[in-house]
Structure formats: C-alpha cells, structure tokens
Amino acid sequence: MYGTERGEVRNGARCPDAPVSEAWLRRVAEEAGRGAGGVPPELLGGFLRVLADAAASGRLPSDSELDAVRRNGGRAAELGVSAGNAVQLYLSAAWRLWRELPADAQFRDAGATADAAEAVMRAVDLAVAGLADGYTTARRDLVRNEETLRRELIEDLLRGDGDAGGLVARAEPFGMDLGRPHQVALAAPDGRPGRVDAVPAALERAVVRGVGDRDVLVATKDGRIVVIAPAGTGGSGLGGLLHGELTRAGRGPGWRVAVGRAHPGSYGIARSYEEAREALTTAGRLSLPAPVLRAEDMLVYRVLLRDQPAITDLVQTVVVPLARARGGAAPLLDTLEAFFATGCVVAGTARRLHLSVRAVSYRLERIAELTGHDPADPAQRFTLHAAVLGARLLGWPDRDLPPGDAG
C-alpha cells in the first residue's frame, strides 16, 4: 500500500537518530492524556517510543509492539474509557510528538523529512487499528460477561432462594438498590413465545423513560417478558406503560400484562413475581378480558383457591346441577358470567352474548330452577357468583372436579 513492507526503510534512507529522553516522552504522554479528556496516559504503553523510532529510522511497529497496543485497547475498555477517547489519546500523542521532536533531530533534506513523516503516520495507522481491535474484542467479552451475570442475577432474584447479602452485592453494578421495594411485571403474548426475544432492550429504555429511574431490569423467561422496577410507579401505571409500549412497537395484538405488588428486599422481588405469575394464570382460567392485571385486584381469587376442598364443594353443590340442562352447563355458565360482568343487567347481558333479552331471561330462570339460587336475588347472587368463579378456576366443566370435603 505504501510501497514498503512493515519494518523496512523507504529507499534504504535513514534519518539521524534523535536522542529522545524518557522525561520528554512522559510529558508528551501526560499532555496527550489531558487532551483526550483525562484518559490515563499509561494506556499509551510504549507507543511513543515506537513513534520516536519511526521518525528516527523509519522502523515500523513489530508484531509484539502491536500486540501490546491491542492489550492496551482491551484495558481501555475494561476501565470504561470510550473508544473515541482511546483513539484520541493515540492521535493526540502522535501529533504532539511530531510537533515537539527534539531540536537536534535534523533531517538530511525534504525527502528524509517526508520519509520520517510517512513512517510515523504508518505507525499511527497500525497502532490505532490494533487499539480498536483490542478495544472491540474486550468490549464484546465484557458485554457477554455482563449479560451472563445479568441473566443469572435475574434468575436468582425471581427464584428468591439465593444469599440475600450476595444478591445485594451482585445487584449494585446494575444500579439496583435492593433496599428499596420493587415490583415485577409479566407480559405474555397470545401468539408464539418467540416474539418476546427481541423485545427487552428497547422495552427497558422505554420503562426507564416512563419510570424515571434506572433501577430497572428487563429479561425474558418461559416465553414471557419480565420487568423488575422500583415501587412508586403504581401497578396500573407500570402495567399500562408496558402494554402501551408493546402495542406501539408493533409486537402484535393480544398482550396481557400482570403486575405484582411492591415488596422490600431481594425476597420481595420473588414474591412479586409469583403474584404476577398467579395473576396471569388465574386470568387465563377465568378468561378475564382485562389487558392489564394488578395482583391486589386478584386477591379474591386467591382466597377462593386457598381452600380448594371448600370451593370444590361449593361448585359441586351450586353449579354442577347446570349440567342437566339441554346443551350442558357451559352456555348457562357463560350467561352467568356475562350477567355479573354487566352489573346484573339483562339487556347488557343480551348484547354481550348476542342473544335476545327473552333468551337471556329464560336462561336465568332455568339457572334458578336447576341451582335453587336466583341470580336476580341479591341475597343469593353472591353464592352463585363465587361458585361460577370457582368453576372457572377449577376448569369445570372441561375438567373433572377434584375431591371436596365430602370426597
């Protein structure tokens, strides 16, 4: 490219050796470091001596010297120095050295001066390329290592069985203060789980903008998006933010977001995660239409499931008799669900089910006959509603009921 091979002197010409002192090279390095924004001058290593040799003799960097530059590029990445500032350090050092070559470094003629300048520029070119290569390699390794540590941290936080002190120390590099209460949100798509793979990075930036706090972690787990965020946004606020961002990003329709309650400490994150998981599972069983769920709004369903034998007996006693109806229990259960969802308004129930008001009224009368509980009677309505919810939670009539107290 330049008409000579690395390490050779152009046309055999040689410039007079210049006496270069270590003190002078050290001063140039320090000035270059300040000029590059306070980059440690030690990252230059022996680069200035290489440039001085190139100016004096035309000698280009050896493989071992370029390897040293690559290692310094890696050190710059590990120290958090930006790639631009690292390159600026080397370029700043090069022009300062050329400008301040000792006065007794005389060149024979204009040609010798041009040869020396070319040798210096080629040395800079090779060094900067090596620096960038070392920086990029180290940065890639750091990112991979950080992603691994991040993934392991999130897994341990969600599992909640790690050493609390160790989790606190591991969370600090990611900007998380586990002394603060946190909440967990889960976003589940209706379609293929693979859609979530490319979401977290963009979603994390959106959450940080919306929450106003960098104490946020976003990942994927079991085909769902997991967001760990500090308390203070409010469950519906965080859930609405996630749902809105996923919808705006064109990730497809059908997203449902569940937000656990905020709890303090590392174990509080695991607790919030379980609440969000339970909310998603329960909403799926009940076919709840809400796109955003809050754990505190789902507590009543937890109460129902806590004593499964009792709720099984309630379902067995109150709604299983609906199976004797022509067409089975499912249409009557759907009618009851719609009736309760519309505030027990017959006309609203009819619109929701796309039936006539007369048909809905007939179904309600038939339900009262079969169950002995009148949906229109406020005193009996609660029992029916609880039994319907219990049936959905237990998967009846699609699945057989588990044994109750009497079983």
Last residue of a domain, one of 141, 165, 183: 141
Q: Which domain holds residue 348?
A: 307-394
Question: Contact at 8 Å (CB) between 199 and 213?
Answer: no
Q: What is the pLDDT of residue 194?
A: 47
Q: What is the pLDDT of residue 199?
A: 63
Q: What is the pLDDT of residue 369?
A: 93
Look at residue 166 and tell me if it is in a domain. no
CATH number of 386's domain: 1.10.10.2840
Look at residue 165 and tell me if it is in a domain. no
Return d(Cα 376, Cα 369) in angstroms, integer: 13
pLDDT in tens, 164-181: 788 888 888 887 888 889
Look at residue 404 and tell me if it is in a domain. no
Which of 186, 184, 196 lies closest to 252, judged by CA? 196
Local mean pLDDT, 10-residue blocks, the chain (407 residues): 39 47 90 92 93 88 94 93 93 91 66 86 94 92 82 88 81 83 88 57 75 77 88 70 79 78 90 92 80 86 79 91 92 93 93 94 94 90 90 87 64
Last residue of a domain, one of 237, 272, 297: 297
Q: Is the pTM of this model over 0.75?
A: no
Task: Give me the number of domains the chain comprises.
Answer: 3
Q: What is the pLDDT of residue 298?
A: 83
Look at residue 41 and tell me if it is in a domain. yes
CATH number of 243's domain: 3.30.70.270
Phi and psi at residue 179, to the nearest 5°: -75, -15
- 182 and 216, same domain (yes or no): yes
Last residue of a domain, one of 126, 141, 156: 141
pLDDT in tens, 123-132: 999 999 999 9
Q: What is the pLDDT of residue 141?
A: 85
- 129 and 184, same domain (yes or no): no
| Full 3-state SS string of the chain | CCCCCCCCCHHHCCCCCCCCCHHHHHHHHHHHHHHCCCCCHHHHCCHHHHHHHHHHHCCCCCHHHHHHHHHHHHHHHHCCCCHHHHHHHHHHHHHHHHHCCCCCCCCCCHHHHHHHHHHHHHHHHHHHHHHHHHHHHHHHHHHHHHHHHHHHHHHHHHHCCCCHHHHHHHHHHHCCCCCCCEEEEEEECCCCHHHHCCCHHHHHHHHHHHHCCCCCEEEEECCEEEEEEECCCCHHHHHHHHHHHHHHCCCCCCCEEEECCCECHHHHHHHHHHHHHHHHHHHHHHCCCCCEEEHHHHHHHHHHHHCHHHHHHHHHHHCHHHHHCCCCCHHHHHHHHHHHHCCCCHHHHHHHHCCCHHHHHHHHHHHHHHHCCCCCCHHHHHHHHHHHHHHHHHCCCCCCCCCCCCC
